[in-house]
Amino acid sequence: MSDKKRNWLHKLFGHEEPQGGASTPEDPGSGEPLDGILDELEQPHPVFDKLKMNQGLMLEETLIKAFNERGYHAEVNGKDVRITPPSGRPSTVHLDNLYLQVSNLRNIDADMPQVVHAFVSSLLSVRPATSYRDADFFRGMRVRLQPIDSLEWEEWAMDALGLPVTLRTESDQNGPQPLFRTKSGGIGTAAQGDTQGAGGAGNPGGSGDDVQLDSEVVQPLFTKDSPVQPWSEDTIVRLCFDSEESVENLNPSSLEDRGPVEDLYRMGYRNLWQELIDSDLSAVRFTPSEEQRFGASQASTLPPSMQDANAEESCWLLETSSFFGGSIPLFLDEIMERYAPEVDRSKGLIFAMPHRHLTLVREVTNGASLMNSIGLMVSIAAEQYTSQPGSISPRLHLWHEGQVETFTDIIWGDDERQAEIQVKPSPYLMAKINEGLDGPEGPEGLEGSGGGPEPF
């Protein structure tokens, strides 16, 4: 924790120091004028930058006190909290989802304590999948889409690849632990004799300079008995266990004595389908307002033949409270047939799964309408990915003739608010965009423009 943050903790909470990482230096600089303190409290928190300084400090303080009340020592370090039970090994829990959940509250100051206490209670009550009998284990089996870089936190995967684990704590030294995500927002590992450990996933820009995973690097993991399988350029299909308290990612050791892995995948797909159709899943066609429209705001950056600000742009929003809404693309054709049968799927579908509760879909048509709709989806996917918990991928994908192709990319800046989005359509998608676009020398589209980066 920086000296500046310690100073603010001292100014806000005085000498009542919790059992954790909110300790303050001897000289807190209390002589600073009150108006200067109030101004700085309105600035973004240096780590939880969607929150004001005072809200970020309140989040840290509330979290530490919630663990203290349950007998745990807690210390917040960046977007992680390191906790130590009364007897046992310390472990680390990632806070990204909790932070995003808090930042989306209508009344952060009033509602934060309840959300934080629910998070801590859920985290400490997680029961690992290995403790369930077969019938319950099979009933909870699911498959889901997850970002490839989530594997950076998993010891079994990184060891298999001969790469260092992004985050390893004392609780990890007894072997690989299953990574879980609590349904109140936490991420951790269920360690023997403890209830959580190291974990995290899906942050903009990855986890740092130590490990950079992509579909080629992780290819050796895709064996027939692996709990992960390839899917897109930046995502994987993985086996997981769904319980009332959490969704746990399964690793090879947690699959032992549970039968053939291929049978577990069949159960996972069957249960995922049932989960989705039994949920409150809805499909709504979204047509933006004038201010939201991509064509109106970005048309001048496109080639002349595509500068049609009046071209229709829209996409389908498939939303559900289920934690598996971002895995809808695994049944994309079937889900669209069931929930939006009027959509023509014959030429393909463009889709994005920015987070666990949302999938964006758009049928492939042609011309400026298609291009503007891609721009609209790029903007929505990027905004949702960076602002909502349970992030999966901000990129757009094309489903055509049973194949999935990723055709956008994200180049992150210093933080999640600074990024460039590159659109690189496949030859098929380029041909559809060019259809019906009559430039001065015939059909014209993005060819020659390089599909340049689109900032958001």
Residue 189: per-residue pLDDT: 45
Residue 192 pLDDT > 60, yes or no? no
- Mean pLDDT over residues 225-252, rounded? 94
Same domain assignment for residues 423 and 303: yes
As a whole number of angstroms, the distance between CA 306 and CA 15 comes to 63
Contacts of 173 (CB under 8 A, 6+ apart): none
Residue 375 domain boundaries:
282-455
| Number of domains forming the structure of the chain | 3
Same domain assignment for residues 307 and 259: no
- Residue 152: closest CA among 211, 107, 99: 211
Mean pLDDT of the chain: 79
Same domain assignment for residues 308 and 244: no
Same domain assignment for residues 310 and 358: yes
Same domain assignment for residues 429 and 315: yes
Same domain assignment for residues 219 and 355: no
Last residue within a domain, chosen from 274, 302, 328: 274
- Residue 307: closest CA among 437, 113, 198: 437
Residue 264 pLDDT > 60, yes or no? yes
Same domain assignment for residues 416 and 302: yes
- Residue 199: closest CA among 137, 112, 123, 131: 123
Same domain assignment for residues 152 and 290: no
Last residue within a domain, chosen from 274, 309, 337: 274
Residue 110: per-residue pLDDT: 93
Same domain assignment for residues 120 and 136: no
As a whole number of angstroms, the distance between CA 272 and CA 335 comes to 12
- On whether the CB atoms of residues 400 and 355 are closer than 8 A, the answer is no
- Mean pLDDT over residues 374-403, rounded? 93
Last residue within a domain, chosen from 124, 159, 194: 124
Same domain assignment for residues 344 and 314: yes
Within 10 Å of residue 198's Cβ, how many Cβ atoms?
A: 27
Residue 348 pLDDT > 90, yes or no? yes
Place of tokens 């340049």: 452
Q: Does pTM top 0.85 for this prediction?
A: no
Residue 32: per-residue pLDDT: 55
pLDDT in tens, 291-308: 555 444 444 444 444 444
Per the model's pLDDT, the better-predicted residue between 123 and 173 turns out to be 123
- Residue 233: closest CA among 336, 352, 349, 345: 352
- On whether the CB atoms of residues 369 and 313 are closer than 8 A, the answer is yes
As a whole number of angstroms, the distance between CA 385 and CA 353 comes to 8
40 pLDDT tier (thresholds 50, 70, 90) = confident
Same domain assignment for residues 297 and 434: yes
Same domain assignment for residues 135 and 203: yes
